[in-house]
Structure 1
Amino acid sequence: MIVGWCSQVERNSTVEALAAGVPTVAFPQWTDQETNAKMMEDVWKTGVRVRKREGHEEIERCVEMVMGNEEMRRNVKKWKDVAREAVKSVGSSTINLQAFLDDA
């Protein structure tokens, strides 16, 4: 859901990165960030996760991996297209949000 008082793009969240088609280097610190990073790396294959306590070499490895991985670029494009379809007027996200609002 998009609200006027919170700039979704500036938040740089998982969903916004996915919908924008941006490969991601995730550096999870707490709560749901570890789950989001796992989804990006292992399920959607749209990013890589920085392993904690590995130093700057690990961050460099992750950035290089994201920048040079063609399969990851194809995956982010696929998920971007899926997200855009979902928010169309007849898309699954729009339909489900309207059903939620209708039941409220």
Structure 2
Amino acid sequence: MWKAEDTCTEWLNKEAPSSVIYVSFGSVVVLSAKQMECIAKALKNSNSPFIWVVKQPDLPEPDGAGQLPLGFLEETKDQGVIVSWSPQTKVLAHPAIACFITHCGWNSVLETISAGVPVIAYPKWSDQPTNAKLIVDVFRIGLRLRANQDGIVSNEEVERCIREIMDGPKSVELKSNARELRIAAREAVAGGGSSDKNILLFVDEIIESCVQLKHAM
């Protein structure tokens, strides 16, 4: 729907392995100005390189929602890159990526699993809370951001999760689980894998139904 900015992959080539924080909340989520400020502050305080996808709305949002804080671009020009849309599968597959802060849309979940990248989950609605629970409690490849009493995830909370997933006590387990899940996912979609077999069965069922319908007519 939007043209991806390939310059971010060129930028990634200059960064150290497992050093970059990738942030994207998909094509629909628009964060409040306060929430944008908290995430911006956390990224700046992390002192880690980052790529942040900030989609520009067709029309200005009320109260500055979805907008970067004033001065943030200048303050972090040597630390991170802001893009309006990214080639996400390429970005996640890049060895420089350390973690993915995401809204946990299903496409993003599948892409991060296929890439073997640990997740910091910030779900908003629909299937996203369920997907976040899978990531944190079932797959055990990530952490979940918790909002305060005002419904805002503070910069301290974002910073805590970044530290934990980058080099905290749980980081080794999370990264190991992500690598194992990546291998399992790729085996599933390869020829003869479980996903490949299920797709073939689905196609066979459609063909069989069409044959039966033809004979019934």
Return the TM-score normalized by structure 2.
0.42
Which residue of 1 is the match for residue 125 of structure 2? 30
Once the two structures are TM-superposed, the CA of residue 56 in structure 1 deviates from its matched residue by 1.1
Distance 1:8 1:82 in 2: 20
Select which of 176, 185, 195 maps to 1:83.
185
Rg (Cα) greater in structure: 2
Which residue of 2 is the match for residue 17 of structure 1? 112
Q: Higher RCO, 1 or 2 (CA under 8 Å, sep at least 6)?
A: 1
Gaps of 5+ in 1: 1-6
Residue pairs, 1:1-104, within 5 angstroms: 9=89, 13-52=108-147, 53-68=152-167, 69-104=171-206
Looking at secondary structure, tell me which structure has more helix per residue. Answer: 1
Once the two structures are TM-superposed, the CA of residue 88 in structure 1 deviates from its matched residue by 1.0
Once the two structures are TM-superposed, the CA of residue 8 in structure 1 deviates from its matched residue by 7.1
Once the two structures are TM-superposed, the CA of residue 54 in structure 1 deviates from its matched residue by 3.6
Question: Aligned-residue CA RMSD in angstroms?
Answer: 1.9
Q: How many residues align?
A: 98
Once the two structures are TM-superposed, the CA of residue 15 in structure 1 deviates from its matched residue by 1.0
Distance 1:59 1:20 in 2: 22
Distance 1:17 1:54 in 2: 22
Once the two structures are TM-superposed, the CA of residue 9 in structure 1 deviates from its matched residue by 2.1
Distance 2:141 2:116 in 1: 9
Gaps of 5+ in 2: 1-86, 91-104, 207-217
Distance 2:135 2:155 in 1: 21
Return the TM-score normalized by structure 1.
0.85
After the TM superposition, list the runs of 4 or more consecutive aligned residues in structure 1 that deviate by more than 4 angstroms.
Answer: none
Identical pairs, percent: 42
